[in-house]
Structure 1
Amino acid sequence: MPAPYEIPEVLDRREGPHGEVVLRRHGELLQIIANGCFLMDTSDGRSERLLVDAARDALDARPGPAVLIGGLGVGFSLAHAAADPRWGRITVVERERAVIDWHRAGPLAGLTERARSDPRTRILETDLVRYVNETSDTFDALCLDIDNGPGWTVTEGNGGLYSDAGLASCARVLNPGGVLAVWSAQPSPEFEETLWNAGFKQVRTEEIPVARGVPDVVHLAVGPG
């Protein structure tokens, strides 16, 4: 962990279609900042791994389930999914070219090198909201971690993903009995109600203990199909 007085070092700064995205080093940690908002760092990864595991555990015993991971970030979710032979096709959607570059030939490459070379893995440079609206692909699990939660989005356009219309698009790409898992920095009873209203079943929230502060959570729901 970095000492409190250490000044973060900016490794790369890009202007993308959704604003500024920055990769910086703070002590031993690598951090991603979007439009001045801290998104994630390499300190732990526990909640990202539990996001993937919670979705897998909520599925029935179907062989080789396909998973869509929304957001590449520092790569914890991808690396954890690829390390699990029970997953089949693994698709990652990331809208920021800079983040993909940092994994392919930058400071984050070592975190996902094995996962990216896994034949099950596919990384797509596209906006998640657009993707679930337009794709003909279907999945058994959707693991979404593109914001700090349904009520704390990185950009305004992401808010539509957690609306009735956005959840209908998520449901459309889920196979029957498929699971939606959404990471959040805090519980959202309002989002749970929206999931129920959108026709999702078995809606629940699992807490993920963190080192300090309130627990992170994963919102889980089975698709209406």
Structure 2
Amino acid sequence: MSAAYTPAQAGETEAPVVVDRRTGPQGEVVLRRHGALLQIIANGCFLMDTSDGRSERLLVDAAARALEETGGRGEPHLLIGGLGVGFSLAHAAADPRWGRITVVEREPAVIDWHRGGPLSHLTADALADPRTEIVETDLIRYLDVTSHTWDALCLDIDNGPGWTVDEGNDGLYAPAGLASCARVLRPDGVLAVWSAQPSAEFEGSLRNAGFRQVRTDEVPVARGVPDVVHLALRPGMALPG
């Protein structure tokens, strides 16, 4: 996810061109081409583009490092919330250390753009990897009903806990949503949450939910305030309720 975007930052001056426009579960989703970049726009709000991918890759790497700090485990299973332009998935699939890689994406248009569409060049190898599974559903709903568990859960569906794409995502960072995140993590499992800015309030929410070793790692960016990844380990005991 990207917190902000201007044509000058990407070195582009021409007007964006709409490649595809769909009506999805949460409203309008648009894929635009702006020079060499592809951009995803939801309900008029810029979400992400193909300009870099550094933050998405570091999100996955931060989760892997946190797992290693717990003593490591063979072929850990990874759950990624949000497919986006596919940088997180592609980076995870390029790393043979990961076992099963599951990506939950609620917008069918985004999945189509990767499966033979304009974004397929970014994720073709990852989608062909037998470890990879794409689940088309809402992440919050999926966390509540799945019987699977993972060693790491990487969330990149918003610009951060305090800057959500839509109001429906707010619940993911509330006590009930964090309890659902904890439920699908294995013992000493890692929760990694990308954010455009640090949030002491969210760190407090993680601790109040019982998560351990809560910390915030900075992700350097070309301009402005660094992005961050909030990291925490699964609560040592089952959460009430």
Under a length normalisation based on structure 2, what TM-score does the superposition of the two structures give? 0.92
| Partner secondary structure for residue 203 of structure 1 | strand
Q: Distance in 2 between matches of 1:3 and 1:212?
A: 14
State how many pairs are aligned. Answer: 225
Structure 2 counterpart of 1:211: 222
1:5, distance to aligned residue in structure 2 (A): 2.7
Matched, 1:94 2:105: yes
Task: Verify: 1:44 aligned to 2:52, yes or no.
Answer: yes
Q: CA deviation at 1:36?
A: 1.1
1:2 touches 1:28 (CA, 8 Å); kept in 2?
A: no
CA distance in 2, matches of 1:155, 1:34: 10
Q: Does 1:145 align with 2:156?
A: yes
After the TM superposition, which residues 162-177 of structure 1 pair with which residues of structure 2 at under 5 Å, given as runs? Answer: 162-177=173-188
Helix, strand or coil at the partner of 2:115: helix
Q: Which residue pairs with 2:239 in the alignment?
A: none
Indicate yes or no: 2:192 matched with 1:184.
no
The aligned amino acid for 1:44 is D
1:116-171 per-residue CA deviation (whole Å, 9 max, x = no partner) reads 00010000100000011111010000000000100111111100000011000000
Gaps in structure 1 of 5+ consecutive residues: none
Q: 1:16: which partner in 2?
A: 24
Which one-letter code corresponds to 2:176 in the other structure? Answer: A
Give the match's secondary structure for 1:105. coil
Return the letter of the residue paired with 2:177.
G
TM-score, normalised with respect to structure 1: 0.98
Alignment-derived partner of residue 128 in structure 2: 117
| SS of aligned partner of 1:196 | helix
TM-aligned CA deviation for residue 61 of structure 1: 1.4
After superposition, the CA RMSD in angstroms is 0.9
Post-superposition offset of 1:4: 4.5
Quick one: distance in 1 between partners of 2:42 and 2:161?
17
State the identity %.
Answer: 78
2:5 alignment partner in structure 1: none
Aligned to 1:26: 34
Residues 196 and 2 (structure 1), Cα distance of their counterparts in 2 relative to 1, 3 Å cut: closer
Contact 2:10 2:51 (8 Å CA) reproduced: no
Tell me by how many angstroms 1:2 deviates: 4.8
Distance 1:36 1:222 in 2: 35
